[in-house]
Amino acid sequence: MKVKFLATSGIIAALYIAVTLLVTPFGFTEVQFRVSEMFNHLVAFNPRFAVGIIIGVFISNIFSPLGVYDLAFGVGHSVITISLFIFICKFVKNIWARLIINTLLFTCTMFIIAFELNLALELPFLWTWLTVAVGEFVVLAVGAPIMYALNKRLNFKKLI
């Protein structure tokens, strides 16, 4: 692996962790506004950002009040959804379409987190799916234009 890739992945992971811990009360349990999830949009620009994001999710979830549940389901959710998204990106080249698809894909797959919360805290599955999906949608919908604007300045495709 190249040093540039490792350094960039480490920076993305560190940013994900810092932003997650900054909003800790709103990053876990049934009402989630995990602002760091907007970093998922980086994969729309370059799939290699997935490594840093997944490492960031793993380390962030070590601090979760749900412990092992969040390590398994949270990281699993990210791996599954990012993998699906990378596959979809092979067929979709328009960056705005990718950002919209990513937002909708992550929102829909929040059933994985709802299932986790149902198992760990015995929260009602459908209601929890709705609450975590709404939080994910808001964060990613607000994050899409931010990441698009940052890409204009930083050119994410060439950063990693």
CA 130 – CA 126 distance, rounded (Å): 6
Give pLDDT, residue 159: 85
Residues whose CB is less than 8 angstroms from the CB of residue 149 and which lie 6 or more positions away in sequence, other chains included: none
**What distance in Å separates the CA atoms of residue 95 and residue 56, rounded to the nearest whole number?**
24
5: its two tokens: 């890739």
CATH architecture of the domain covering 3-159: Orthogonal Bundle (1.10)
Predicted pLDDT at 32: 82
Across 1-159, where does the E strand assignment appear? none
The residue type at 36: S
Provide the residue-wise pLDDT of the chain in tens; the chain has 160 residues.
Answer: 699 999 999 999 999 999 999 987 766 777 788 999 999 999 999 999 999 999 999 999 999 889 899 999 999 999 999 999 999 999 999 999 999 999 999 999 999 999 999 999 999 999 999 999 999 999 999 999 999 999 999 999 988 8
Domain edges within the chain? 3-159
Q: Which residues contact 36 (CB under 8 A, 6 or more apart)?
A: 15, 16, 17, 19, 20, 23, 27, 56, 60
Q: What is the pLDDT of residue 53?
A: 98
| Per-residue confidence (pLDDT) for residue 137, from 0 to 100 | 97
Please give the radius of gyration of the chain, using alpha carbons only, rounded to the nearest integer.
Answer: 15
